[in-house]
Each structure stands twice: as C-alpha cells, then as structure tokens.
Amino acid sequence: MAETHKSYVAFRFLDYLAILIFVVFIVAGAYFFWQHSVAKAQNTNLKAEIISVTKKIEVLKKKDYEKIALSQNFLKKINNDAIVWSNVIDKLRTLTPEGVEYNSYVGTEANEINISVEAGSVDKVIATIKAYTGDAGFEDVFVPSVNKGVTGEGEKLYSFTINAIYNK
C-alpha cells in the first residue's frame, strides 16, 4: 500500500502541477489579451488624433495660402494702380518743345496732373498744347488761361497751366 500511496501522492502532485500550469496559462492569456486590447485602443486613439491634427494643419495651410493670395493680389493692384512719377516727368521732357520751361507740376492719385509752364512765344505755347493733346499719354487736356508778361530783361514771357489726366 505504500507504493500506492506514493503513486497517489505523485499523481496528486502532478495534478496540482498541471492545474497550476493551466491556471498560469489562463492568467497569462488573460493578461496578454488585456494588454492587446489596451494597445489596440491606444492605437485607435492615436490614429484619430493624427487625423485630427492633419485636418488642423490643412486648415492652417489653407488660411496661410488665402492670406498669401490676398496679399499678392493687393500688391498687384497697388503696382498696377501706382504712377511712377519719374516716368511722367520723362514723358513731359520728351513732349516739351525747346525754349519751354516748367515751373512746377502736381499729380494726384486720380492720375490728374497740373503743370505750370512758361514759354517765350505764342508759337511755343501752341506747340506745347498740341504736343499734349496729340499724345495718347494724356487726355482731357485743358489750358484755362495764358498770361502774357515781361521778364526782368524786357523779354516777352507767356505763363500758362496745363491740366490733364495722365494715362499710364
């Protein structure tokens, strides 16, 4: 009977060992399943966060592109509307007959220009007016009056103002 008792105890020990190993596998399996579920949930959350951040980046990029486009359009408008007055002055010099001088010129944002001019003869006054009226760079050319005077040396002097709209 001692042998049976030994085998029974050995069998019981193996039963307990098998049950213990089985329980360890069940607990380890449950733990690994739980870890897998947690990792999967974190992965899903991270993917959602990536999508959200990507959408925010796209919105910010779009806003920046809109601002850049508006700024570029504004600069184009300014450049197209701007008058380069040095070009206007060069144009005045090319149109001016010899012996005619400018006292002053004033330009406005509306492309209006007022030029105070002096000439030594009526022919030069007429030539100057014709030069402006015949040039496509100026429209609505108007001379309100021509004044006749004498210089300090006794020479005739004609003063007049030319009002016009400058076309770029």
pLDDT tens, position by position, 141-166: 999 989 999 888 888 899 999 999 88
- Domain total for the chain? 2
Residues 150 and 129 grouped into a single domain: yes
Residues 56 and 92 grouped into a single domain: no
Q: How many CB atoms lie within 10 A of CB 47?
A: 10
Report whether 116 contacts 143 (CB < 8 A): no
Q: In CATH, what number is assigned to the domain containing residue 147?
A: 3.30.980.50
Residue entry with tokens 């209006």: 112
User: Looking at 40, 62, 82, which one is the last position of a domain?
Assistant: 82
Confidence band, pLDDT 50/70/90 cuts, at residue 108:
confident
Model pTM score = 0.53
Residues 62 and 133 grouped into a single domain: no
- Structural domain boundaries, residue 45: 1-82
Residues 90 and 77 grouped into a single domain: no
Residues 77 and 91 grouped into a single domain: no
3-state secondary structure the chain: CHHHHHHHHHHHHHHHHHHHHHHHHHHHHHHHHHHHHHHHHHHHHHHHHHHHHHHHHHHHHHHHHHHHHHHHHHHHHHHHHCCCHHHHHHHHHHHCCCCEEEEEEEECCCCEEEEEEEECCHHHHHHHHHHHHCCCCEEEEECCCEEEEECCCCCEEEEEEEEEEECC
The most confident of the ranges 38-42, 45-49, 161-165 is 161-165
Residues 154 and 89 grouped into a single domain: yes
pLDDT in tens, 50-95: 888 888 888 877 777 778 888 888 888 877 777 777 888 888 888 8
Residues 122 and 146 grouped into a single domain: yes
Burial class (CB in 10 A: 0-12, 13-18, 19+), 97: middle
User: Looking at 82, 103, 125, which one is the last position of a domain?
Assistant: 82
Residues 57 and 104 grouped into a single domain: no
Residues 76 and 48 grouped into a single domain: yes
